[in-house]
Amino acid sequence: MTKKAATKASRNRRTQARTETQLTPPPTTATVHTLDNGFEVIVQEDHAHPLVNVQVWVRAGSIHEEQWTGAGLAHLVEHMLFKGTANRTPSQITQAIQAQGGQVNAYTSFNRTVYWIDGLAENLGGYIDILADMAINSKFDPDDLAKEKDVIRREMAMDNDDPNSASQHLMQATAFRRHPLRQPIIGHRQVFDQVERQDVVSFVRRHYAPNNCFLVIAGAVDTATALATAKQHFGAWQRQPYAPVMLPEEAPQQGPRVNRASFATELTRVSLGWPIPGDSDHDKPALDVLAFLLGSGRSSRLFRELREKRGVVHSVWAGAWSSAECGLFSVDAECDPPDAEAATKGLREVIEIFKKKGPTTAELDKAVRSTLAGQFRTLATTKGQASTLGHGWLSINSLDYSRLYLEAIRRLTPDRIQEVANRYLRDHVSNLVVVEPEGKAAADGAPKTAIAKRDTVEKLVLPNGLTLLLGRSPRLPLVSMRVSFLAGVLSETDADAGVTQVTAQMLLKGTKTRSADELASILEKRGGGLQAHGDAHRLWFAADVVKGDEIIALDVIADLARNATLPAAQLEQVKKRQIASIREEQEDPLTVAMRSARKHIFAGTPFHRTALGTEASVKNLTVAGAKALLKDHISGANGIVSIFGDIDPAAIRQQVKQTLGTLPKGHRHLADLRDLPHLGRPGAWEHHLEKEQAVLVIGFRTVGLHDADSPVLGLLDEACSDMGSRLFNRIREDLGLAYYVGTQNFMAYGAGAFYFYVGTDPQKLDLAEQEMKNQIADLAKNGLQEDELNRAKITWRSSWLKAQQGNGAMADSLAWDELNGLGHEHFEKLPKLIEAVTPAEVKRVAKKFFNAKDAFVVRVTPKKG
């Protein structure tokens, strides 16, 4: 054996030895049972929270449309299953789910359609009843079909307005020539318009059979009871003959392909793709890890080289996606137009270096640990558990798919990854897709709900004024940390707007003791993650780690807080990316409308800006300004440390004292701020974009998060945003005037706003605006009906419970409430506050804020011509 070969063998043995000692995924306790009609029922008992997730999986997606391939027929059927059954109207479906504390939705992919309800375990029977009714008894009313087809046309317009979708669709059409993966899931408009009711019914009869579907239940349920309930509602569904769809085999690619397109965008998207085998192929785990090593996280090869070192991209990532038969490995980058050539060249160069040298043992260890940690995080929620089980059953007919997959990843060696990279990422079978700004290219072608069981949150104020919150949840070996300091929009001026977010990004560019690469990799290689953010109120750090790594995470966060170097050489790249984010917002019609309404509502106050700032303010930011922000805001009296998960509180307390407990005491910002002045004048404004869709936003100034009316406004938002809401049922369902419609309740420090919005066909905008105003006027006059309020309360409770399923979400909630002066116990108090809201209070608050003369109306329409 040569010295080089011996070194490689030793490296592979070390990798195997190290990964064998990693945390192992918990064995599945799920069971599968087949009813007499062939319908399979998978049950996973998890009694950690009083919640359940129920999913109906149909083994039919966009690649199974046969003669209607490219029509989006599977996606259309998904929509139609919400349009009424022989037993329920559309509103009865959504309102019944809402009344039982559930959230319902569905999605269509290439090889599946999944319908799910997430909610309270006590209502499992009601959820199964509704899903069975939808799957078996949907009517496909011709009038509803016509309306829903119009809704999907609006969805197609939204898709056409999204440059990322344009890039994805172009890559599919370039990389696949025969296989239906070349078609977008939503379909092509010209083919879609030819679909008639009989085609929809025929597709359902062909694929929606009990022997082609299965049910997944995960949560606080009893298996025997769940099976009996499933049999009660699905057992009479008649089995039928089913012949699998025969898909055309994709011919081997014989040479490189290039495709370019122009788009109304400020940025360029560059994608490289290579054909790979299907989901169940033995190479798939290695390809997933290869994608992770190249493009997942700040320590990945592509991120470090192209964004951090060369500064030629704003974002970059890699992924390997497949159907059962074949798939695509792709790397994607977003950059400024002048950098497109350098970005493309850089993508190829990084990949070639990887092919020659392969990954290091440390990189592979990081990928294995991160994949395992990611799986743990998925398993933290009932929805994640059900989705994992469903994917495994669909892909390889195994309930143990997750463990088998992770074990395959643990067996990987650097040589195996390098071999896979060389076998698949070959130049002569590459597909290059570039989507550029126009002019740059031409196209080629109600019961009480208990909180989850856990220890009481401990609060401790350190001598330097820093508040420490500790919550112990030993269910999974994971820990989340949030370290927050009051800053953000209220601490900025028009001249330095965006400085909090820019400073947050600069923090990760290195400290006196660690380089940017070390900061990027120190937690990622251990299956964790480190981030720094700025938002409306905060400069904050987030670390999510595997148990045992808390001490390392705290040390890194303290290093960032005390020793960040803020290298001037990196500032221009950070500012460049911030400006790119500002410009990207200007491409989305709804965001443009929301930002315009906000600007006018909060005129003369800090909140007329967003945390991103403006192009002008960001261009003028300096290192001196960032340092001044840190000096003034990173202090004990101005900060909150929130740590939640499988922790040893005593050890954590000691470590926090030794690290963040040494920060200067300083002072608390915004301590007395409770109400910003109302200076904005109501009116109407219109903007024009080169888009197909139109958007309407009607906004009203309200109150901040400390106001006693805030819970009522939260319930109004809940009642008006759900698929069972009056807005959805009237404007979208009854009148067919919109694709999406809803509300957004913004509550901040001393200020708030409530927005009603709708996305629609430009020809229907006037009608949509009039109807929206009618609905708002009715709310202002009559408030919510008692049944609407009760449904809103139940769905709110369900959302409140779901927020407790992840350590990160709990750490966020506790930190946010404490930092903003509400107190960490505010989260526990919320159910009583919400339950106490009466119809009379809702009516009073709606009348108080939703007066027509106080409306800020913004319309975004396509440019004429």
Average pLDDT over residues 652-671: 90
20: confidence class by pLDDT, cuts 50, 70, 90:
very low
What is the CB neighbour count within 10 angstroms for residue 834?
A: 18
Selection from 192, 178, 251 nearest residue 73 by Cα: 192
Largest CA distance in the chain: 86
Q: Which amino acid is at 571?
A: L
**Is 672 a residue whose pLDDT tops 80?**
no
The rounded distance, in Å, linking the Cα atoms of 293 and 297 is 9
CB 569 within 8 Å of CB 577: no
The rounded distance, in Å, linking the Cα atoms of 274 and 489 is 44
Q: Are strands 639-645 and 467-472 parallel, antiparallel or unpaired?
A: parallel
CB 142 within 8 Å of CB 156: no
CB 694 within 8 Å of CB 738: no
| Length, in residues, of the chain | 865
Average pLDDT over residues 575-589: 91
**Is 639 a residue whose pLDDT tops 60?**
yes
Q: Where are the beta strands (DSSP E) in 192-305?
A: 213-219, 257-263, 268-277
pLDDT for 309-358, tens place per residue? 898 998 999 999 988 889 999 999 999 999 999 999 999 999 999 999 99
What's the mean pLDDT when you consider all of the chain?
90
**Is 451 a residue whose pLDDT tops 90?**
no
Question: Secondary structure of 368-389 in the HEC alphabet?
Answer: HHHHHHHHHHHCCCHHHHHHHH
According to DSSP, the residues that pair with 291 across neighbouring strands are none
Q: Over pLDDT 70: what percentage of the chain?
A: 94
The rounded distance, in Å, linking the Cα atoms of 588 and 106 is 24
CB 438 within 8 Å of CB 262: yes
pLDDT for 341-355, tens place per residue? 999 999 999 999 999
Q: Report how far apart, in Å, the C-alpha atoms of 552 and of each of 82, 106, 475, 516 are.
A: 49, 40, 21, 16
What is the CB neighbour count within 10 angstroms for residue 99?
A: 19
**Is 671 a residue whose pLDDT tops 70?**
no
The CA angle 671-677-682, to the nearest 5 degrees, is: 145
SS3 740: strand
613: confidence class by pLDDT, cuts 50, 70, 90:
very high
Q: Report residue 705 as tokens.
A: 């998060």
User: What's the pTM value of the predicted model, to 2 decimals?
Assistant: 0.83
Average pLDDT over residues 364-377: 85
The rounded distance, in Å, linking the Cα atoms of 60 and 483 is 45
Average pLDDT over residues 681-710: 94
pLDDT for 453-474, tens place per residue? 445 789 999 999 999 999 998 8
Q: Report residue 290 as tokens.
A: 């290869």
> Which range (25-29, 73-77, 741-745) has the least confidence?
25-29
The rounded distance, in Å, linking the Cα atoms of 47 and 44 is 10
Per-residue pLDDT at 446: 37
Q: Are strands 683-689 and 856-862 parallel, antiparallel or unpaired?
A: parallel
Q: Report how far apart, in Å, the C-alpha atoms of 96 and of each of 88, 128, 278 are.
A: 10, 12, 40
**Is 581 a residue whose pLDDT tops 70?**
yes
DSSP character string of 621-673: --HHHHHHHHHHH-SGGGEEEEEEES--HHHHHHHHHHTGGGS-----TTTT-
Q: Report residue 621 as tokens.
A: 């930011």
Average pLDDT over residues 479-489: 95
Packed helices 710-721 and 839-849: angle between N→C axes, nearest 10 degrees: 90
Residues contacting 503, CB < 8 A, separation 6+: 534, 539, 566, 626, 629, 630
Q: Are strands 458-461 and 478-486 parallel, antiparallel or unpaired?
A: unpaired
The rounded distance, in Å, linking the Cα atoms of 410 and 18 is 9
DSSP character string of 157-174: HHHHT-HHHHHHHHHHHH
The number of helix segments (H) and strand segments (E) in the chain equals: 31, 22
**Is 13 a residue whose pLDDT tops 50?**
no
**Is 5 a residue whose pLDDT tops 80?**
no
Q: Which amino acid is at 134?
A: M
Q: Which amino acid is at 742?
A: G
The rounded distance, in Å, linking the Cα atoms of 210 and 786 is 39
The rounded distance, in Å, linking the Cα atoms of 600 and 678 is 11
**Is 19 a residue whose pLDDT tops 50?**
no
660: confidence class by pLDDT, cuts 50, 70, 90:
very high
The rounded distance, in Å, linking the Cα atoms of 91 and 725 is 8
Q: Report how far apart, in Å, the C-alpha atoms of 350 and of each of 249, 258, 421, 749, 806 are.
A: 32, 20, 12, 45, 35
The rounded distance, in Å, linking the Cα atoms of 219 and 120 is 9
Rg (CA), the chain: 27
pLDDT for 138-174, tens place per residue? 999 999 999 999 889 988 888 888 889 999 999 999 9
Q: Report residue 261 as tokens.
A: 């397109």
What is the CB neighbour count within 10 angstroms for residue 448?
A: 7
The rounded distance, in Å, linking the Cα atoms of 538 and 554 is 19
The rounded distance, in Å, linking the Cα atoms of 508 and 565 is 9
Selection from 461, 456, 451 nearest residue 818 by Cα: 461
pLDDT for 699-712, tens place per residue? 999 999 989 999 99
The rounded distance, in Å, linking the Cα atoms of 739 and 723 is 12
Q: Which amino acid is at 470?
A: L
Q: Which amino acid is at 363?
A: E
pLDDT for 77-87, tens place per residue? 999 999 999 99
